[in-house]
Structure formats: C-alpha cells, structure tokens
Amino acid sequence: MTPARPFALRLALALTSPLVLAPRAPVQEPPTFDPRTAWDEIGTAFHAACEEHGVVGASLAFVRGDAVFGMHLHGLADRERGRAVDADTIFHWASCTKTLTGIAILQLRDRGRLTLDDRLLDHLPELRAVHDPEGALPSITLRHLLTHSSGFRAATWPFGGDQPWHPHEPTEWSQLVAMLPYTRLEFTPGARFAYSNPGIVFLGRILEQLSGDDYEVYVDKNLLRPLGMTRSYFDLSPYHLQRHRSHSYERKGRDAVDLGPDFDTGITVSNGGLNAPLPDLARYLVFLLGACPLDSDAAAVLRRESLAEMFTPVLPTAAPGSAAASSERIGLCFFVQDAQGSPVLTHTGGQRSFVSFFYVHPVSGTGALGAFNTSTAGPVMAAMRRLCIERLSLPLTPR
C-alpha cells in the first residue's frame, strides 16, 4: 500500500493538475469610449428636442482640436421657400458677439492704447449725465464693463420699441446719449455681477474712438479676417450671402411667425450684431482653444496670456448664498462654468427669436456651438450644451 501523502503535498499536486488548470474566462476590459457613437446619440436627442419645442431650423457642431468633428442639421432656414438648413446657413449670434468685443478691447490694451483700469468717464465724458445717487460714476473702469459689474441696467432700449416703425435698437450714438439723463446707476461698481448690455455698447464706442474705425470695420480687419471667418458679418446681409441667411420665427402657440432674415442692431452692434455660419464660428473656437498653428494669422489675434486673463473667473453670476452661487462666474466677457473641476468657457445669445451658444473646454481641446432660428429654442440650446459637455468633452479629457 502506498503511504498516505501529507496534506500540503496533496494540495500542491491538486493545484498543478491539468484537470484543475482549465482555461480561465477572458478578463472583461472596460468599454472603449467611442465619440462617434456619443455624437450620433446627441444628434438623436437634438432632433427630438427641436421637434418637441417647435424649432423651425437649427444647427449643432462639435469641435475637436483644429477641426469640426461633426455637425447636425435640422429643419428649415426659410419655411416659405422650403430652404433647408445646411452647413452654409447663416444664423444670428446675438450676445455671443460680446466676446469679440472683449477680445478687441484686450487687443488695444496689449498695444498700449488703454488699460483695463482706465476710468470710463475719461473715455466717454457724456456719461456724466447718468443719474448717480451715490457719486460712484467716477470709479467705473473698463474692467467693470467687461465683467458686467459696472452698475448699469440690463436693457439697452428700455423705452418703447413696440411699434413696427420703431428701430429694433438705437441706430446712433446720439440716441443712446439722449437716454443717459434717464439712466440710473443701480449699484456700487464692482459690488456684484449684473448683466448689462449698455456696458458692452460703451466698450464698442471706446473701440471706435481709439482705433478710428467703425466697430464692424475694426473687428473685420483684426478678428474675422485673420481667423478666416470669411462669411461672417454684422447686421444686414451682403448680396452674395443673402441666399444663405436664415429667417427667424417667433412661436405663438402652434404657429411660428416669420420675422424675416435681417435686422439692424444699430449702435448696439458691439453688443450683439454678429451673423455667421457654423463653420466660421468653429474657426473662432479653434482659436480660443489655442489649436491654430503658432505662426498663423489666427494665432496672432491675441496673446494666449491675454486670453487666459479673459478666462479667469472674477465674480459669481448668481446671488451670494443661492444654490447656484458657485456654479458659474464671469471672467472678461466670458462665462466660466465648472465641469468636474475643469473650466468651460461659454456664452449664449438670444435676439429677435434667434438663440445661440458656444463653449470651449480647453482641458479636452474640444468645444461645441449651436444656433436656432425659433423663439422657443432656449431649452434645446441649454440641453445641447450640457449634453455635449457631459457626453463628449468630459469623456475626452486626458486622465
């Protein structure tokens, strides 16, 4: 009889037996993120949301590095003629224009023509006519205008404007000056954030005075041309681009009233006058991301250090103590949102039933932009910005 083996020896033999060493199931690797699948899913949500909210026409694009990753197109640019939205369709970008104005002011600062701590009254003495109960007007600086903390009201045109023969916005600087005695400084400059359209108009006026160019001419020469935004312009469409211009639609119940393609933002052009197709705005996002070649005209538009200064948060946009107090801050004309610890630089626009947005997420080298031609598109715009950040930009962030 074979003597019994010790337990330890029997266990070792058993563990090395071919019967025990059966093939193991392969280790399941975590699924690889596929941005194309995510973009397709966002497209499905985009079309469904546009249908739900009665959006006549819209366009959505995602930028990755120095190129457009994808574009989704929805509906009609001109409902009466049955003209569909396409990649050439020109939308109105409204307050997204403000970021161009801010960059133009920083250009002048970098060239020694002004400082951000210059007193506003030194550039625009006409503003002494503003009602100033606390004597705070002399303390307003250009930095206050850039951060929407000057104390000026939100609306540019608060009187009338409800008749079809009224201009959409004041057409001349003299008209805005005529309203200054009926304008009140509402709080101490720098005390808090309060979105102000007139404040940006004042910056546009200063830009004209220091450069010697009309606002539109200056921005075309110093931003749009070097960025390659050849189909971008302000206010009324040039003849050769009219066939690409989207109409806008005011939704009233089930009906959508056609407001036409063009309107004049007048003296408020620096505040919201830009029109452009999405591929042009994508070039702007590539510049903001720093993805254009270092020796290109685009890279020379503004120093990266100055852009970083514009992207630096200054004030919370929500009231202190509110639930949203820490979710968003204002930089220099850019809104800064937090996305899992990394900044998202963004702006939105809304005017004459056009709705728009863009954002850039420098950490992932991505951004998105969208434009809509219907008054009810606000919720769609907000949802698409959130989806693009959460489903595309954050997953593409280097870990």
pLDDT band at 32; cut points 50, 70, 90: confident
Contacts of 295 (CB under 8 A, 6+ apart): none
171-185, 260-274, 299-313: the lowest-pLDDT one: 171-185
pLDDT at 157: 72
pLDDT digits (tens, 9 = 90+) for 344-390: 999 999 999 999 999 999 999 999 999 999 999 999 999 999 999 99
Mean pLDDT over each residue of the chain, to the nearest integer: 91
Please count the residues of the chain: 399
pLDDT digits (tens, 9 = 90+) for 158-207: 766 667 777 778 889 998 999 899 999 999 999 999 999 999 999 999 99
Does residue 30 have a pLDDT over 90? Answer: no
pLDDT at 9: 37
- Cα Dmax for the chain: 118
Q: Which CATH number fits domain 35-393: 3.30.428.10, 3.40.710.10, 3.30.470.20, 2.60.40.1120?
A: 3.40.710.10
Q: For tokens 């749009």, name the residue.
A: 224
19-23, 33-37, 98-102, 204-208: the lowest-pLDDT one: 19-23
What does the alpha-carbon distance between residue 185 and residue 153 come to, in Å, rounded to a whole number?
7
Is-above-0.85 flag for pTM?
Answer: yes
What does the alpha-carbon distance between residue 358 and residue 346 come to, in Å, rounded to a whole number?
6
Does residue 40 have a pLDDT over 90? Answer: yes
pLDDT digits (tens, 9 = 90+) for 50-63: 999 999 999 999 99
For the residues 119-139, what does the mean pLDDT come to? Answer: 97
pLDDT band at 15; cut points 50, 70, 90: very low
Radius of gyration of the chain measured on its C-alpha atoms: 27
For 101, 156, 157, 188, 200, the CA distances from 176, given in Å and listed in that order, are 18, 8, 8, 22, 13
pLDDT digits (tens, 9 = 90+) for 215-262: 999 999 999 999 999 999 999 999 999 999 999 999 998 899 999 999
Q: What are the domain boundaries of the chain?
A: 35-393
